[in-house]
């Protein structure tokens, strides 16, 4: 401690942090007491489960929405308790970290959400301030899953003492990109399970958004090389940056006018293949990177299959009604105008074939996002510090990889459970009845009576004529009218 105080006086705050970072080995190796374990599990439960569930119920509104306030209020009270526990534990001591800094920052959104919630309950200034308060309350509330994920990740890093000194750059690369894959998987799952109506209203295919995100990753081209000499890793990382902005630009062009494209999936496949061939110092690191690469590539392959065989184009129905047979809008999978005549209903064999394809699609649609979640977890678990620890404890790569896939199963369970809560709660709950399934603003989990053309029509070939497509759509519409 005298050296710590002297450094603080001589060099200021920066030196204080650096000196405090050099925590003695004795303090760092002390056992973790029960108070700290309670803090860890309590905060994980709050930010990983309770707050997200409360957020979803608040978005869904309706009868289930009344649980939004009790859940969020309970979460705020318990979070304050967890904050106190985090500063009251004994045993192992930790140096100053980003986890502690983030804990102080989180007080701002927590208090903001609390104050806005109280204000909205009081119903003051209904026509002036209230609309802005509702908007800000929604923005802050929807940021909770991201804030919670970030803080839990910082907590795990601090607990293990990772990402200090020369390891910071690698940690940033692995944890940011790994979290990016998980975020991508979450958004994909939302779009596939409950987001069809939003995609159609946006007027853009999902790959248009994907391609823009990939293209804007151009910054990766200029950050992977340092110094005067080029290493093998420098060249690999830099060319991946070039690959992403080049492929992203192509994807933007091909996905114009609501056109589906497989370019983002191809980029994911190539990235996975490159990572599977990434040379590493330890054999366990090489094998973990290889499985990560294979998993990422499989996510791209399943995405291509999904686009080409299970998912429609998301184009608006106006493109079909106006008979735009010369544009790429003709790949739209929308219903014809209600004023158009109905065709005879499907026979039993055709209906059974349709139901079989629908069932297959219901199962297959989870593969791409789950594999992306798994790839993200594997990449985040593949830093040198983590794998050095695994190697020193004589754990083989099979056991380690299976542990990561177990975490992936649990995380994807949380994601789809939250989506399911949204789909069956609040105003969305009324859409589960067969009489309203066709008019719902969302696509429910896996409704047997749902419109069969919403997600599972094969992308038609260029040779298919506009007349045959219109006949098929009228045929399906007639079968829908019979169900009513």
Q: In the structure encoding, which two tokens stand for residue 10, read together?
A: 């001589």
Query: For all residues of the chain together, what is the average pLDDT?
Result: 75
CA dist 238 and 315 (Å) reads 36
CA dist 343 and 482 (Å) reads 11
Cβ-based neighbours of 254, under 8 Å, separated by 6 or more: 207, 261, 263
Q: Minimum mean pLDDT among 3-12, 57-66, 366-375, 390-399: which range? A: 3-12
Contact 320, 473 (CB under 8 A): yes
Q: Minimum mean pLDDT among 60-74, 85-99, 264-278, 469-483: which range? A: 469-483
Q: In the structure encoding, which two tokens stand for residue 440, read together?
A: 């719902």
Q: Can you give the residue ranges of every domain in the chain?
A: 1-29, 31-161, 167-484
Higher pLDDT, 371 or 89: 371
Q: How confident is the model at residue 4 (pLDDT cuts 50, 70, 90)?
A: very low
Higher pLDDT, 205 or 404: 404
Contact 382, 288 (CB under 8 A): yes
Contact 196, 206 (CB under 8 A): no
- 472 CB neighbour count, 10 Å cutoff: 17
Phi first, then psi: what are they for 32, rounded to 5°? -85, 125
Contact 361, 451 (CB under 8 A): no
Q: How confident is the model at residue 23 (pLDDT cuts 50, 70, 90)?
A: very low
Per-residue pLDDT at 64: 76
Q: Give 60-86 as a DSSP string.
A: H-TTGGGGHHHHHHHHHHHHHHHHHHH
Alpha-carbon distances of 267 from 206, 242, 350, 379, rounded to whole Å:
15, 11, 37, 17
Per-residue pLDDT at 314: 52
Please, which residues bridge with residue 32 across strands? 91
**Looking at residue 383, what DSSP letter applies?**
S
Cα within 13 Å of Cα(106), Cβ side: 24
Per-residue pLDDT at 412: 96
Alpha-carbon distances of 235 from 13, 221, 278, rounded to whole Å:
38, 10, 11
Residue the block writes with tokens 């045929």:
475
Cβ-based neighbours of 246, under 8 Å, separated by 6 or more: none
Does position 395 have pLDDT exceeding 60, yes or no?
yes
Per-residue pLDDT at 320: 38
Per-residue pLDDT at 174: 87
Region 215-226: mean pLDDT is 70
Per-residue pLDDT at 307: 86
Contact 47, 151 (CB under 8 A): yes
Per-residue pLDDT at 119: 87
CA dist 193 and 451 (Å) reads 14
Per-residue pLDDT at 413: 95
Cα within 13 Å of Cα(463), Cβ side: 0
Higher pLDDT, 120 or 417: 417
Alpha helices in 62-167 (DSSP H): 68-86, 98-105, 107-122, 130-142, 144-160
Triad 53, 59, 62: Cα angle to 5°: 100
Distance of CA 377 to the CA centre of its chain: 12
Contact 185, 373 (CB under 8 A): yes
Model pLDDT for residues 460-469, shown as the tens digit of each residue: 444 444 555 5
Per-residue pLDDT at 8: 47
Residue the block writes with tokens 């061939």:
277
Q: In the structure encoding, which two tokens stand for residue 153, read together?
A: 């990740």
Does position 470 have pLDDT exceeding 60, yes or no?
no
Per-residue pLDDT at 2: 45
Q: Minimum mean pLDDT among 133-142, 241-250, 419-428: which range? A: 419-428
Model pLDDT for residues 421-444, shown as the tens digit of each residue: 888 876 666 554 444 444 334 443
Does position 137 have pLDDT exceeding 50, yes or no?
yes
């Amino acid at each position: 401690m005298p050296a710590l105080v002297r450094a603080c006086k001589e060099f200021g705050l920066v030196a204080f942090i650096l000196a405090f970072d050099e925590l003695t080995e004795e303090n760092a190796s002390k056992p973790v007491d029960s108070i700290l374990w309670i803090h860890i599990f309590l905060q994980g439960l709050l930010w990983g489960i309770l707050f997200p569930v409360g957020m979803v119920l608040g978005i869904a509104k309706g009868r289930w929405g009344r649980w939004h306030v009790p859940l969020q209020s309970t979460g705020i009270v318990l979070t304050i308790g967890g904050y106190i526990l985090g500063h009251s534990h004994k045993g192992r001591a930790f140096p100053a970290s980003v986890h502690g800094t983030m804990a102080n920052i989180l007080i701002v959104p927590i208090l903001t959400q609390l104050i806005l919630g109280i204000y909205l309950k009081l119903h003051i200034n209904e026509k002036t301030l209230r609309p802005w308060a509702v908007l800000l309350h929604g923005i802050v509330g929807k940021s909770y899953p991201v804030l919670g994920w970030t803080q839990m990740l910082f907590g795990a890093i601090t607990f293990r003492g990772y990402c200090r000194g020369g390891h910071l750059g690698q940690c940033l690369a692995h944890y940011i990109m790994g979290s990016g894959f998980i975020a991508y998987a979450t958004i994909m799952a939302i779009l596939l399970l409950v987001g069809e109506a939003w995609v159609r209203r946006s007027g853009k295919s999902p790959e248009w958004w994907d391609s823009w995100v990939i293209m804007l990753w151009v910054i990766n081209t200029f950050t992977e090389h340092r110094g005067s000499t080029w290493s093998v890793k420098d060249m690999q990382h830099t060319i991946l940056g070039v690959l992403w902005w080049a492929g992203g630009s192509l994807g933007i062009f091909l996905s114009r006018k609501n056109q589906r494209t497989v370019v983002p999936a191809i980029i994911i496949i190539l990235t996975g293949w490159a990572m599977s061939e990434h040379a590493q110092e330890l054999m366990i690191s090489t094998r973990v990177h290889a499985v990560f690469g294979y998993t990422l590539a499989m996510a791209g392959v399943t995405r291509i299959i999904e686009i080409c065989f299970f998912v429609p184009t998301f184009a608006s129905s106006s493109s079909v009604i106006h008979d735009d047979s010369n544009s790429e809008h003709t790949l739209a999978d929308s219903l014809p105008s209600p004023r158009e005549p109905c065709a005879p209903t499907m026979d039993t064999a055709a209906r059974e074939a349709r139901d079989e394809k629908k069932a297959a699609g219901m199962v297959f649609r989870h593969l791409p996002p789950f594999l992306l979640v798994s790839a993200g977890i594997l990449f985040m678990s593949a830093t040198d510090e983590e794998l050095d620890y695994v190697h020193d404890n004589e754990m083989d790569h099979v056991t380690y990889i299976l542990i990561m896939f177990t975490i992936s199963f649990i995380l994807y369970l949380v994601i789809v459970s939250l989506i399911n809560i949204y789909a069956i709660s609040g105003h969305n709950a009324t859409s589960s009845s067969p009489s309203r399934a066709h008019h719902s603003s969302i696509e429910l989990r896996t409704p047997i009576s749902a419109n069969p053309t919403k997600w599972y029509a094969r992308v038609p070939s260029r040779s298919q004529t506009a007349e045959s497509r219109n006949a098929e759509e009228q045929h399906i519409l007639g079968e829908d009218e019979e169900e009513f």
